[in-house]
Amino acid sequence: MADGPVHPVFASLARPRFEVVPMKGLEQQLAYLPERATVTVTSSPARGIDATLALTELLVRDGRFRVVPHIAARLIRDRAQVGRLLRHLAVLRLDEVFVVAGDAPAPAGDFAGAVDLLRAMADIGHDLRIGVTGYPESHAFIPDDTTIRAMTDKQAFASYIVSQICFDPRVTASWIAAVRARGTHLPIYIGLPGAVDLAKLVRVSLRVGIGDSLKFARRQSGAVARVVGGYRPDHLVDGLAGTVADPAMNVAGWHLFTFNDIRSTEAWRQQLLARYARNTA
C-alpha cells in the first residue's frame, strides 16, 4: 500500500475479534487464527458455562491469543457462583469478559438478564473490561422495548457493545445511529458472520431469531454461494463502510462469528484486506 491515509475499513479489518464455540473439532481450526488475535468463547444452554471455561483455559495455556469468555446470565444460579467465576477469571489473569443474557428460555437462578448479572458483578467487585450485546433486529425471545431499556441500563457497567448479526447493512447502520441518538456512546463492534457454509448460517440464523434480514443475505450472496458453496459477508462490510468511517458512530471494529470455520473466515478476511489495500494504493 502506498504511503498515505489508511482506509478505516482496512484498519478495522486488520484487528477483528473472532468468536468460537466450544465444540469437538475446534482445535484443528485454531492454527488459522492470527497471532495475538482476540478470541471470544461462547456460552450456550446446550454446553453450559463449564464448556466455556474449559476452552478458555485451553486458549490461555496456548498463549497466542487474547481470550474473552462469554458469561450467560441465564446460566448462572446465584451470587456465590458469580463470586467463584470472578475468582477463577482472576486466576487465569483475564481482563475482559462478554456478558450476555443467554439463549436459555428460562433462568437457571437469580439472573433473568445481563443487567442483573452486571449489577451483581459490580457489587462483588472486579477490574474487568466488559462487553455487552446489542440487537439491530429483534431478540429471539426478548421484546424490543426491553432490549432498548436494557442498553441504557447496561452502559453504566459496560466498556463496549457487540451487535448481533444482521444481514442488511442498512438496518445495522440505522440501529447504530439510533443507539447514538438515545445517548449511548459506548464503542460498538459490528457483529459479522464469517465466510461459512450457507446452510449452517441459515440454521443458526433462524434459531437465534435473525431470519428477517436473512432474505437480504440470500439475495446478495446467492450467486456467490452457488459458485463457492458458502456465504461471504463482503456486502455487509462494503455497505457499512460509511458508518465505520464516521467518527460520530464510534465503531471499534468487527466481531466475526466464525461458527468454528476459522480457516475459511480468515482466508476471506485476508482477501478483503488485499482488496481494500489495492483500492487505497
The set of residues, in sequence order, having a beta carbon less than 8 Å from that of 21 and lying 6+ positions away, is: 41, 42, 44, 47, 259, 260
Q: Which three cell numbers stand for residue 152?
A: 441504557
Distance from C-alpha of 22 to C-alpha of 224, rounded to nearest angstrom: 29
Alpha helices in the chain (DSSP H): 8-13, 48-62, 79-91, 114-124, 144-154, 169-181, 198-207, 214-228, 234-239, 241-245, 262-280
Q: Sign of torsion, CA 47 54 129 248?
A: negative
| Domains (range + CATH), the chain | 8-280 (3.20.20.220)
The per-residue pLDDT for 149 is 75
Query: Is the Cβ–Cβ distance between 4 and 280 less than 8 Å?
Result: yes
What are residue 255's DSSP bridge partners? 17, 191
Count the neighbouring beta carbons within 10 Å of the beta carbon of residue 23.
Answer: 14
Strand 188-193 vs strand 160-163: parallel, antiparallel, or unpaired? parallel
Q: Please provide the size of the chain in residues.
A: 281
The confidence score (pLDDT) of residue 22 equals 94
**What is the C-alpha separation between 255 and 20, in angstroms, rounded?**
11
pLDDT by residue for the chain (281 residues), tens only, comes to: 445 567 889 999 999 999 999 999 999 999 999 999 999 999 988 889 999 999 999 999 999 999 999 999 999 999 999 999 999 999 999 999 999 998 888 999 999 999 999 999 999 999 999 999 998 986 555 545 566 777 889 999 999 999 998 889 999 999 999 999 999 999 999 999 999 887 777 766 555 444 444 554 455 444 344 434 578 899 999 999 999 999 999 999 999 999 999 999 999 999 999 998 888 76
Sign of the torsion angle spanned by Cα atoms 162, 43, 126, 141: positive
Residue 143 burial by Cβ neighbours in a 10 Å radius (0-12, 13-18, 19+): exposed
- Which of these, 123, 183, 122, lies nearest to 149 by C-alpha position? 183
Nearest CA among 163, 68, 71 for reference residue 118: 71
